[in-house]
Amino acid sequence: MSITTFFCNAFRQIPHAPLGAVVGNPCVAMTQSVQMPTKLAAVVLCSLGLPLTAQTADEPVAVFTEHPRLLLRPQRLRLLKRERERSSARWQQFEALVAGGAPMPERGFAWGLYSMVAGNSALAREALVLAQTGDLDLREQALVFDWCQNLMSDSQRRDLAARLQKGIADTAADNSVAATRTRAMAAIALYDHVPQVPQRELERIVRQWWGARILPALKRGQSVIARDDAYPLWELLHVIRDNTNIDLRETVPRFFKDYPIEHLMSHYPATYEGPDNQYRIGLSKSGEPDLHLAALSRAAELAMVALDTNAAESQVLQGWLMHDHFVLRGPFGAPYEFLWANPYQPGLSYNLVPLVYHNPDFGKLFIRSSWDEDAQWFGLFDGSMQLFADGHPSSVNPRLDTPPISLTSATLCFAQRQRKFQLKLDEDEMVFLLGLEPRRTYQVEIDDEEMFETAADAGGILELDVPHGKPVGVRIREVPTESR
């Protein structure tokens, strides 16, 4: 069963918000030349939670919000303050680390967040000192500048504004997702404080980086967004939508609809015992589990749910997230856990998700034998194949004459060299031929069925519908180019 069919069947009664729906304080973007009464009206409507018309393609990318702009829009800040009033477990953990003087790896982020929720001006001033002395990276400088506005002197504001402008200029050539996210945050924090630079940078990010670089690549099926880019990408999506009313997801809805389930399925089955909590480890091409990346992977999933709480995919992801032994409790992860987690958001059991995820647009395939921690797992992604069994992943070489592998939910046939397979499938077991030439057309012959032609997907994957419950022979061969 495809993931699309699954959601159509399982969640057809769940009300879906459109991808363009705005959560929190949606407002129309204003140009810098807008008249004050119009801007005031927009702010009033925003405060009432009334949706306004989104920016059109030819309008400047403009910021309409007041501080705080970055990640702590009024709705989320109210939620976090209620968590403090209720003395929730996540708040207690975060407070214990900060008040206890734990060495926070991202002090500007952690101290700024704590001061915004607890009203601790002394800690906010310490964060400002860090920002002025160059001890914080550009992202944390932007957060401190945005969150601590009411505590800054004019000279501090000028100094930090100059640092943010310099940071934008110094990283302009870096087109990575993380660097682009950071420049967007700096530009939004600076908006209305300095002329031209913030708007130029936002225009460049939305029109050139996303519109002319990333978007066409995604539409071509190119994997330009790595798995480890998930958290910076979702921070970017949040700050752009929250402050300009531009939802970048609407430009390629299918990619973003599939992404939460793909991210979930791309974890190895076994959990990892860290010093502060257990981790789910995402696929990796090398080395020991990276707990920093594992924490950001969970933070990305929390941010996905926060961006679109009504989507069926988000509700499944929420069910995946709300297990206490995976709550981030360490000095690095606890601020992210407190910022994004919403334990009051309903979730659905991830055990309902099909054990096979196939994305032909990008040529990705993830398979689990079950949802148990000792399950087998297979992943084909970005030209690599891995099999996870007996507690560790190993690479799979499609050039070898490897016999078919059954993972209960699906059988894998390695067809780069072999062209004939003998199969006997259990009920509902799927079949995938791997290692083929991407988008090449093949002739397929299945016993007692008429020969047909079909094309491999972007990753050289061919999904076949094969009879179940009896021995069946499958043969394939390339269709000559001149025949096509």
Task: Classify domain 3-350 at the CATH topology level.
Answer: Glycosyltransferase (1.50.10)
CATH 1.50.10.100 intervals, the chain: 3-350
Q: How much is the pLDDT for 429?
A: 93
Q: How much is the pLDDT for 5?
A: 47
pLDDT beyond 90 at 326: yes
From the list 299, 288, 318, the residue with the least C-alpha distance to 393 is 288
- For residues 229 and 220, what is the distance between their CA atoms, to the nearest angstrom? 19
- For residues 413 and 294, what is the distance between their CA atoms, to the nearest angstrom? 31
In terms of pLDDT, which residue wins out, 172 or 22?
172
Q: How confident is the model at residue 484 (pLDDT cuts 50, 70, 90)?
A: low
Average pLDDT over residues 10-22: 35
Q: Specify the range with the lowest mean pLDDT, choosing from 111-120, 248-257, 417-426.
A: 417-426
CA distances from 7 to 1, 4, 151, 165 (A): 10, 5, 48, 45
pLDDT beyond 90 at 45: no
From the list 417, 412, 467, the residue with the least C-alpha distance to 434 is 412
Q: How much is the pLDDT for 285?
A: 81
Share of the chain above pLDDT 90, in %: 77
What value does the mean pLDDT of the chain take? 87
Handedness of CA 272, 274, 279, 281 (dihedral sign): negative
- Tokens in use for 479? 């269709």
Q: How much is the pLDDT for 365?
A: 97
Q: What is the pLDDT of residues 456-466, one digit of tens each?
A: 999 999 999 99
- For residues 99 and 96, what is the distance between their CA atoms, to the nearest angstrom? 5
Average pLDDT over residues 374-401: 89
DSSP one-letter code for 63 = -
pLDDT beyond 50 at 35: no
Q: What is the pLDDT of residues 294-316, one digit of tens each?
A: 999 999 999 999 999 999 999 99
Q: How much is the pLDDT for 257?
A: 94
Position 91, amino acid: W
- For residues 92 and 83, what is the distance between their CA atoms, to the nearest angstrom? 9
- For residues 17 and 14, what is the distance between their CA atoms, to the nearest angstrom? 10
- For residues 78 and 57, what is the distance between their CA atoms, to the nearest angstrom? 33
pTM given for the model: 0.86
Q: How much is the pLDDT for 17?
A: 35
Q: How much is the pLDDT for 417?
A: 85
pLDDT beyond 80 at 48: no
pLDDT beyond 80 at 11: no
Q: Residues 209, 240: contact at Cβ < 8 Å?
A: no
Task: Report how far apart the first and last C-alpha atoms of the chain are (Å, whole number).
Answer: 30
Q: Specify the range with the lowest mean pLDDT, choosing from 56-65, 111-120, 191-200, 292-301.
A: 56-65
Q: How much is the pLDDT for 20?
A: 34
Q: How much is the pLDDT for 399?
A: 76
- For residues 463 and 413, what is the distance between their CA atoms, to the nearest angstrom? 10
Position 161, amino acid: A
Q: Residues 227, 283: contact at Cβ < 8 Å?
A: yes
Q: Residues 190, 239: contact at Cβ < 8 Å?
A: no
CA distances from 22 to 36, 242, 330 (A): 24, 8, 32
